[in-house]
């Protein structure tokens, strides 16, 4: 079997990295970015933080701040109009996963005339996406999705009535600029939820059944970084070292998950669309249950996970070490203030049939180490309820 590996993103990481952006813009041969962001990022004053050095560098810019929390196709249409009206020549996406994904959609539509839904991955859209897109600089303000190093974007298509993925290597940002100073204002509950999304990416990609030893090594490194930094980032938001560790863990998670994910993400996706639960929070609550479900099928790998999470497993059987990994994730959730039960975040028993049907339709569980049936999904929801 022939495998194909690709880890090409250029990343600038460290306090003050945003001050390098004017040089990056120039190195791309461009002069006027469209800043794609959302109202929360504007309120937090982060647009000024990023554009501060622009004036001295002789750069002008335009701002589109209308991205919704779960971007819809209209966000892309409005952003495209702002790009054209503003005479822009590259996209600078600033925010959590939503502005970053919207930025990818906007750069795509600058040169690709079909309706956005025609580029949907599930319908062969990747083949319709060529390399002729304007450059993009991705600047994350959360440490979770890692979309800044990813080749995909998720949109809610009203026409299709569901969330869907657009994917192409050509959508990989030209540069990711990960500056921990931009994440210090993120409140503890969002730091915890987005951080658990990063952990889930690393963990599920490590456990997934696909073959990708490079991603396995990255994923284990990402798990260790989360174990080292997440508690501190939640407890002390101004700790730049912890913030930087989590930014790196998020980028490693997104790099690793080109190896694929698992059942936690299949359970989490409908929790957002049906019950409005934050994506990272949904993953965090279901993750210990999914790991317990996988414990037998992936005992040796869960032993590695336990070690990476800092648990002493010497002398234990793989099965016992796997149980320790589940306990360690539960304990981490508790320490960073993640609610234990889905019922605490608005999910009800009546939702479970719809949730489990949608979880089965979601592709992520296909690489879960233990195959899942619809009844397994319902059972996992009930356990987490
Ligand atoms: Fe995720």
Judgement on whether residues 176 and 231 belong to the same structural domain of the protein: no
Of 160, 182, 204, the one marking the end of a domain is: 182
105 and 216, same domain (yes or no): no
Contact of 168 with 151, CB cutoff 8 Å: yes
What distance in angstroms lies between residue 315's CA and the mean position of ligand 1's atoms? Answer: 34
> How many angstroms does the Cα of residue 200 sit away from the middle of ligand 1?
7
Would residue 1 count as lying in a domain?
Answer: no
Q: Which of 132, 161, 182 is the last residue of a domain?
A: 182
Q: Give the CATH number, domain containing residue 86.
A: 3.40.50.1970
Say whether both 194 and 176 belong to one domain: no
What dihedral do alpha carbons 95, 101, 104, 109 form, nearest 10°? Answer: -120
DSSP3 helix / strand / coil % (the chain, rounded to 5): 60, 10, 30
For 361, residues 6+ apart whose C-beta sits below 8 A from its C-beta are none
* 30 lies in the same domain as 143: yes
Q: Write the CATH number for 294.
A: 1.20.1090.10
Instruction: Report the C-alpha dihedral over residues 77, 90, 250, 187, rounded to 10 degrees.
Output: -70
Identify whether residues 133 and 197 lie together within a single domain: no
Ligand 1 centroid to residue 201 C-alpha, Å: 6
What is the reported pLDDT for 170? Answer: 95
Give the distance (Å) from ligand 1 centre to CA of residue 145: 6
Number of compact structural domains in the chain: 2
Distance CA 33, CA 25 (A): 8
Identify whether residues 207 and 262 lie together within a single domain.
yes
Q: What is the whole-number distance in angstroms between the Cα of residue 20 and the centre of ligand 1? A: 29
Whether residue 280 sits in one domain with residue 155? no
44 and 171 part of one domain: yes
**116 near 71, Cβ under 8 Å?**
no
Residue pair 254/145 in contact (Cβ under 8 Å)? The answer is yes
- 143 with 196, same domain: the answer is no
Q: Ligand 1 center to residue 198 CA distance, Å?
A: 7
Q: Could you tell me if residue 325 is inside a domain?
A: yes
* Ligand 1: centre distance to CA 227 (Å): 18
Average pLDDT for consecutive 10-residue bins of the chain (385 residues)? 68 94 96 97 96 92 95 95 98 96 98 95 92 98 96 84 85 96 96 98 97 95 98 98 97 92 95 92 98 98 98 97 98 98 97 96 93 98 98
DSSP 186: S
Q: Say yes or no: 147 and 197 in one domain.
A: no
* Domain match, 277 and 348 both: yes
4 assigned to some structural domain: no
Q: Which of 182, 204, 237 is the last residue of a domain?
A: 182
In a domain, 2, yes or no: no
Q: Could you tell me if residue 3 is inside a domain? A: no
Cβ count within 10 A of residue 338: 25
* Residue ranges making up the domain that contains 300: 188-384
Measured CA distances, 63 to 49, 60, 185, 234 (Å): 14, 10, 21, 30
Q: Tell whether 172 is covered by a domain.
A: yes
Nearest C-alpha neighbor of 32 from the set 76, 64, 72: 64
Q: Is the Cβ–Cβ distance between 61 and 51 less than 8 Å? A: yes
Residues 6+ apart with CB under 8 A from 285: 277, 333, 338, 339, 340, 341, 342, 345, 384
SS3 assignment, position 163: strand
**53 falls within a domain:** yes
Centre of ligand 1 to C-alpha 171, Å, is: 18
Q: What angle do CA 286, 212, 210 make, to 5 degrees?
A: 55
CB 303 within 8 A of CB 207: no
Q: Rounded to the nearest whole angstrom, what is the distance from the C-alpha of residue 86 to the centroid of ligand 1?
A: 33
Q: What is the pLDDT of residue 123?
A: 87
pLDDT at position 161? 66
Whether residue 350 is contained in a domain is answered as: yes
- 197 C-alpha vs ligand 1 centroid, how far in Å? 5
Question: Residue 164: beta bridge partners?
Answer: 155
Cα of 327 from ligand 1 centre, angstroms: 21
């Amino acid at each position: 079997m022939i495998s194909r590996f690709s880890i090409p993103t250029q990343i600038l990481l460290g306090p003050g990295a945003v001050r390098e952006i004017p040089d990056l813009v120039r190195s791309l041969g461009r002069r006027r970015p469209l800043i794609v962001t959302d109202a929360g990022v504007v309120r937090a004053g982060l647009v000024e933080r990023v554009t501060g050095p622009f004036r001295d560098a002789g750069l002008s810019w335009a701002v589109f701040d209308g991205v919704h929390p779960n971007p819809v196709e209209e966000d892309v249409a409005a952003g495209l109009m702002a790009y054209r009206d503003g005479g822009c020549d590259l996209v600078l996406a600033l925010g959590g996963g939503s502005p970053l994904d919207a930025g990818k959609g906007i750069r795509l539509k600058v040169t690709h005339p079909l309706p956005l839904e025609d580029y949907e991955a599930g319908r062969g859209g990747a083949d319709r996406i060529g390399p002729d897109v304007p450059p993009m600089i991705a600047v994350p303000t959360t440490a979770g999705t890692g979309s800044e190093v990813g080749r995909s974007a998720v949109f809610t298509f009203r026409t299709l009535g569901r969330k869907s993925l657009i994917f192409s290597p050509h959508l990989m940002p030209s540069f990711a600029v990960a500056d921990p100073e931009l994440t210090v204002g993120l409140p503890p509950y969002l730091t915890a939820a987005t951080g658990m999304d990063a952990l889930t990416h690393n963990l599920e990609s490590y456990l997934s059944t696909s073959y990708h030893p490079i991603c396995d090594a990255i994923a284990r490194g990402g798990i260790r970084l989360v174990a080292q930094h997440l508690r501190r980032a939640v407890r002390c938001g101004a700790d730049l070292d912890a913030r930087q560790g989590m930014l790196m863990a998020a980028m490693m998670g997104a790099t690793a998950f080109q190896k694929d994910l698992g059942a936690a993400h299949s359970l989490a996706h409908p929790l957002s669309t049906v019950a409005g639960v934050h994506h990272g929070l949904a993953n965090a609550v279901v993750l210990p249950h999914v790991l317990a479900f996988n414990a037998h099928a992936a005992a040796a790998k869960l032993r590695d996970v336990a070690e990476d999470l800092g648990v002493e497993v010497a002398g234990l059987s793989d099965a016992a070490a796997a149980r320790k990994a589940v306990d360690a994730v539960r304990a981490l959730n508790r320490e960073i203030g993640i609610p234990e039960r889905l019922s605490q975040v608005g999910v009800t028993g009546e939702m479970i049939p719809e949730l489990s049907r949608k979880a089965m339709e979601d592709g992520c569980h296909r690489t879960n180490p233990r195959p899942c049936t619809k009844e397994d999904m319902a059972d996992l929801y009930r356990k987490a309820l």
